[in-house]
Structure 1
Amino acid sequence: MDIDWDGITHVTKVDPAKPLPSDLTVLSGTDLVIVGGSDDVTEANTLEAIRAMKERFPELPVFQEPYSSAHVSRETIEAADYLSIPAVYNGDREHFVGKHVDLFTQVGRKPGELIGSSLPVVGDLIASKGIDAISELATNLIGEGYVVQHLESAAATTSGVDTTYTPEQVAGAALATETFYGFPIFYVEYSGTYGGPEDVAAAARYLEETTLLYGGGIDSQQKATEILEAGADAVVVGDCFHDDPETFRDTIPE
């Protein structure tokens, strides 16, 4: 599936470890779903969440954003449209470089197991198709430049983030994302608290091709609009999707 980033202004973050709303029509109006989380997330509940999204909305793009390679299998890769891999700029080495090296070490192993799965998928694929198999898998991978700005969040703890960035540093990270790393996504993550438009405005000045996502504390149309008007391409809404579907509906831009 080719992603039309120009048409995406609202992204839903689905935590596989949390119950889904009983009525998934609440997703009508969102433009993209990202499935991922850290606490109590498994390959099995990730796959269940992805399939639930695709079964109800088959045309809706669905990304898997794994915290651990153990969350990924042949089934999750086939069920999701893309595998989005965060690179946390203000995290520890493991969450910027280490996990990526581990992932591609698994991809290149002959024979090998697919990134933590018990299924020997990649090894079998490479044995039959050679380097083309690696290229085929790589086309489904998307890199995300990430800045985590809420130190008390689970995202900060799991990513080894112990300091936030100033708006100037956020702008620098955005510039590096587009001009040096070439990631198609730059994500400013406030993880459950509202950070306001300052970081978004700082980053937006340096992004032309890269999609700018903001997540954190979006629980109203007013906040969503403020972030979009500051220069974000899309807001990412997660907590209220699970906890308060009616509030979630209000975050979708009209």
Structure 2
Amino acid sequence: MNVDWDEITHVTKVDPAKPLPSDLGVLEGTDLILVGGSDGVTERNSFAALERVADAFPELPIFQEPYSSSHVSRDTIEAADAVSIPAVYNGDRDHFVGKHLELFTEVGQKPDELLGSSVPLVGELIASKGIEAVSELTETVVGEGYVVQHRESTAAAVSGVETAYSSEEVAGAALATETFYDFPIFYVEYSGTYGGPEDVEAAARYLEETALFYGGGIDSSEKVTEILEAGADAIVVGDCFHDDPETFRETIPE
């Protein structure tokens, strides 16, 4: 999986639980697709969304962003260019490290189901050659440092977020993402509401190699400009892709 993060400015968040626009040509000009959501998502609808978008735009990088290991299968891994795993700093333990352990535990126990390998099993433990099968997944995993700032959102509820971060704490999370965790993405998520540039400005000061994503309430070219000028590398647009494709078009930088 090779992505030139310097070329990623516009990201479309596709929710598998929502109907897709009848004309996927609206995606023309976006740079990256993230397939995932917080409510009603399954392995089946994730795969269906991945497959449909990949058929329409085979040249676009497409990441699956699951919040549960049950959303990941051999089919979704093969359909996506990467599996993007959020680590929610201001969420509960499950959504910072617990879900990651759950995913890799399942890979270790059931490589056939997730990776389609023919690796023999010893009891429920993976045999030594199974490391090759596991590496097929680990090579596609992308870590995302995540801060969910809209406490009333579904994303906050499922992630156990009770407190939004101050801008100083957002900056600290950004610094940890790049210098300690070495994730390629740091994502400030306002999930359906517009948070403005303050958190972006705080995080951008500490990021050189890590791509800074902002998502939430982007529904105009003016908001796109404000967030990008504040220092974000990319804006993430989701709701209006599903609900108002014409407005969605306005969010794609020319």
TM-score where L is the length of structure 1: 0.94
Q: How many residues are treated as equivalent by the alignment?
A: 248
For 1:128 and 1:58, the matched residues in 2 are separated by: 35
- Indicate if the aligned counterparts of 1:107 and 1:123 stay in contact, CA closer than 8 A: no
| Pair 1:141 & 2:141 matched | yes
Q: Which one-letter code corresponds to 2:182 in the other structure?
A: G
User: Deviations along 1:42-100, whole A, 9 cap, x unmatched?
Assistant: 11111010011110000000000001111110000000000000000000001001111
**CA distance in structure 1 between the aligned counterparts of 2:86 and 2:185, rounded to whole angstroms:** 9
Q: Report the alpha carbon displacement of residue 113 of structure 1 after superposing the two structures with TM.
A: 5.6
What does residue 226 of structure 2 align with?
A: 226
Please, which moves more after superposition, 100-109 or 166-175?
Answer: 100-109
Distance in 2 (alpha carbons) for counterparts of 1:16 and 1:136? 24
Structure 2 match to 1:214: 214
Q: Whole-Å Cα distance in 1 between the matches of residues 95 and 235 of structure 2? A: 23
Deviations 1:113-151 (A, max 9, x none): 67xxxx364674465843222222211000000000000
Are 2:158 and 1:158 aligned?
Answer: yes
One-letter amino acid of the counterpart of residue 56, structure 1: A
What value does the CA root-mean-square deviation take over the aligned residues?
1.4
Distance 2:40 2:242 in 1: 15
1:199-225 superposed Cα distances (whole Å, 9 cap, x missing partner): 000000000000100000000000001
- Report what 1:60 is aligned to: 60
Q: Which moved more, 1:12-21 or 1:131-140?
A: 131-140
Counterpart residue number, 1:131? 131
- 1:41 corresponds to: 41
Q: Are the equivalent residues in 1 in contact too, given 2:21–2:241 (CA < 8 A)?
A: yes
Trace 1:62-211 onto structure 2 (pairs within 5 A).
62-109=62-109, 112=110, 119=113, 121=115, 124-125=118-119, 127=127, 129-211=129-211
Structure 2 vs 1, CA of residues 123 and 106 (structure 1 numbering), >3 Å: closer, same or farther?
farther
TM-score (norm 2): 0.94
- What are the superposed Cα offsets for residues 183-213 of structure 1, whole Å, 9 maximum, x if unpaired? 1100000000000000000000000000100
Structure 2: distance between partners of 1:139 and 1:17 = 27
Structure 2 CA distance, aligned partners of 1:120 and 1:2? 22
Shift of 1:105: 1.3
SS at match of 2:236: strand
Give the distance between the partners of 1:241 and 1:195, measured in 2 at CA: 19
Give the Cα–Cα distance (whole angstroms) in 2 for the partners of residues 99 and 48 of structure 1. 23
Give the direction of change, closer, same or farther, for the CA distance of 1:104–1:120 in structure 2 (3 Å limit): closer
Shift of 1:38: 2.4
Structure 2 regions of 5+ residues with no counterpart? 120-125
**Residue pair 2:212, 2:232 contacting (<8 A) in 1 also:** yes
Contact 1:107 1:122 in 2 (8 A): no
Alpha-carbon distance in structure 1 between the residues aligned to 2:236 and 2:23? 20
